[in-house]
Structure 1
Amino acid sequence: METVLAFLVLVGILIWFHELGHFLFAKLFGVKVEVFSVGFGPVLFKKQWGETEYRLSAVPLGGFVKLYGEEDGISDPRAFSSKPNWQKILIAFAGSFFNFILAVLIFWLIGMLGKEVPKYALEKPVVGYVQENSPAQKMGLQRGDLILSVNRKKVDNWKDLEEKLLKDIFEQELKLEVLRNGKVLTLGGKVDLRNPRGFGAEPLIEPVVGTVLENSPAKQVGLQEGDRILSINGVEIKSWQEAVKLIRSAEKIDLKIERQGQIREITLVPMKDPRTGISMIGIAPKVETIKVKQGPFEAFKGSFERIATLTALTLKALWGMITGSLSPTNLGGPIAIAQMAGQSAQQGLIPYLGLMAFISVQLAIFNLLPLPMLDGGLILLFLIESIRRKPLPLKFKEAWQELGFALIVALSLFVILNDLLRLISGKKF
């Protein structure tokens, strides 16, 4: 229920803000707005206020504003069709423009409120663990390496490293400068940073228990917060990541732990994830966090930088799908958004707002694609009419809309199927 509510609030705000952009720009240019609807399909609630009917509809996967005189040939000055093409273009663009504004406001607020980050995120990026078969391992990174730069861009801490890797996620070549045993080395090669497991270089996380889940195998055998894991099945443990690796494949676990200076031995049988078959015992690491805040000006500047990065990554991803270098199975639909909304809501207000801003940027860019039925498709038609200096034939416009409807239905079915396959296979969204 919490997931459904989190999803409805998130998409409701995004849709409302998008349609508000169309609505306000239509009013600005003197166009009569007949209907303002959040959602499609059967009307759940409606109210006439002035000349506009406001609706809440049953299908929360979009919305619309119905403008008076959208069809050609109406000479009324309040008709959409009577307006010059530059005004029509701005009205069509306004929805995405407002989604960008919403993202700016949210990222600005997050920056000023501050968010909890792991303490290690602001520490020097000294490698504490390298995942097997990861891009980091293939490049030759080793435990103890201090990462100095990524593609000649200086790296200050783990947070900085993550941001720079994210910006270069679609690059084929990656070069790192690292400090190893007092010598600066250059590591490089062709790597795929889109690996779902990530880059694979991680900070050292001490093998100390921070959380024990209720009704878990760990809880049942008496594991406690603060317990330090010394060994698993006779293998010495130096990091939390090493512990996770051994636990995930174990059928039975012999733990040696240190608690308040005393050594204890515990045996337990892990539970299995029904979808993946991975073993789990229900513990999480003890990670110290700090709250990072920014001043109003710094947060405002940072919000634009975040949006610029997200926009560039989204456009690169779209281009990758067009060229075939990125599989369209990476697309997520309403089920994926609902899952992420529920998870972020459980984590707190800041992660939930961050997800809202992220999806707001995605929605803005998607709607500007020059495809039928999207705002970008309308803008394309108005640009063509401006160049031709006369309206396009009615039959062409009708065919364009029919094509758009077919494309939207096909895309909707595809992303929903994608979501279902991910859900069944147990893959993360």
Structure 2
Amino acid sequence: MEGEIQRQILSVVPRKNPPEGKGALGVMISAYPYLTTEKCSMTNVQCSIGALEQGFKSTKIWIDRVFEGLRGIGGSLVRGKAPEGVSGPFGIYQLTDTVAAYGWLPILELLAILSINLAVFNILPIPALDGGRMFFVGLEWLMQKRIPAETEQKINSWGMAFLITLMVLVSLQDVIRLGVMERIF
């Protein structure tokens, strides 16, 4: 059974002689519903289309989750609280180490999620990022004149200082949360 996640009660009878490569019940429990026990190949068009479709669905879900997370972070900062669920290099290393125990497919999914996070963060209108540049281009288009290069450079410098400060704070939060210093000393 494939589809939406829901609780169902089923009666099953195990097969005495299951087909080659199939279980006695013919059931596959997986966090990856798009995977089947049947082999997919690049020549199997239906399988390839299904994989592409699932890739687009998963990407949309993760983009939505990233924006939800950003809203949550913004809300935490407005309330004067440290945002939870934000990880820097130490947290990402620990998560990767944990996920690696489950095999290559979860690692690939984690890499995709990290790439989506970076892509979304990069398009935010923060000076020194691509989104900041798009903001300047849009502003110049609206004003019908160029922003002086010196002004843009100063704003980008402040944006870079903000990003470096953010990276340091997130890394420190990782160090404290993960107890990195206790392990070293």
TM-score w.r.t. length of structure 1 = 0.31
Backbone CA RMSD of aligned residues: 2.8
What does 1:233-272 correspond to in 2, within 5 Å? none
The whole-number CA distance in structure 2 between the counterparts of 1:329 and 1:342 is 20
| Larger helix proportion of the pair | 2
Letter in 2 for 1:408: L
Change over 3 Å in CA distance of 1:157–1:300 after alignment to 2: farther
In structure 2, do the counterparts of structure 1 residues 155 and 317 end up closer, same or farther at CA, with 3 Å as the change threshold?
Answer: same
Matched letter for residue 356 of structure 1: L
Structure whose alpha-carbon radius of gyration is higher: 1
Establish whether residue 400 from structure 1 lines up as the match of residue 152 from structure 2: no
How far apart in 2 are the matches of 1:157 and 1:361?
31
**Partner amino acid, structure 2, of 1:371:** I
Which runs of no fewer than 5 residues in structure 1 stay unpaired?
A: 1-121, 124-153, 159-287
State the partner residue of 1:310: 62
Residues in 2 aligned to 1:403 and 1:359: alpha-carbon distance in whole angstroms:
25
- Matches of 1:340 and 1:329, distance apart in 2: 15
Residue 133 of structure 2: aligned partner: 378
Alignment of 1:124-203 (within 5 A): 155-157=5-7
1:297 deviation in Å? 1.7
8 A contact 2:73–2:84 mirrored in 1:
no
Structure 2: unaligned runs, 5 residues or longer: 9-26, 37-46, 181-185
Structure 1 SS opposite 2:72: helix
Q: Deviations over 1:212-268 (max 9, x none)?
A: xxxxxxxxxxxxxxxxxxxxxxxxxxxxxxxxxxxxxxxxxxxxxxxxxxxxxxxxx
Please give the secondary structure, in 2, of the residue aligned with 1:402.
helix
Q: Does 1:387 align with 2:139?
A: no
Task: Quote how far apart the aligned CAs of 1:374 are.
Answer: 0.9
**How far off is 1:347 after superposition?**
2.5
Judge conservation of contact 2:124–2:132 (CA < 8 Å) in 1.
Answer: yes
Structure 1 pair 350–157 and aligned structure 2 pair: CA distance change class (3 A): farther
Poorly superposed stretches of 4+, deviation over 6 Å: none
Give distance in 2, aligned partners of 1:338 and 1:363.
16
Residues 31-60 of structure 1 show CA distances to partners (whole Å, capped at 9, x for unaligned) of xxxxxxxxxxxxxxxxxxxxxxxxxxxxxx
Trace 1:27-176 onto structure 2 (pairs within 5 A): 155-157=5-7
SS at match of 2:84: helix
**1:329/1:418 contact within 8 Å kept:** no
Q: CA distance change for structure 1 residues 155 and 289 in 2, over 3 Å: closer, same or farther?
A: closer
Q: Deviations over 1:177-217 (max 9, x none)?
A: xxxxxxxxxxxxxxxxxxxxxxxxxxxxxxxxxxxxxxxxx
Paired amino acid for 2:141 = S
- Residue number in structure 2 paired with 1:346: 101
Bigger strand share: 1
Q: Deviations over 1:68-97 (max 9, x none)?
A: xxxxxxxxxxxxxxxxxxxxxxxxxxxxxx
Matched, 1:300 2:52: yes
The equivalent of 2:168 in structure 1 is 413
The alignment-based identity, stated in percent, is 28
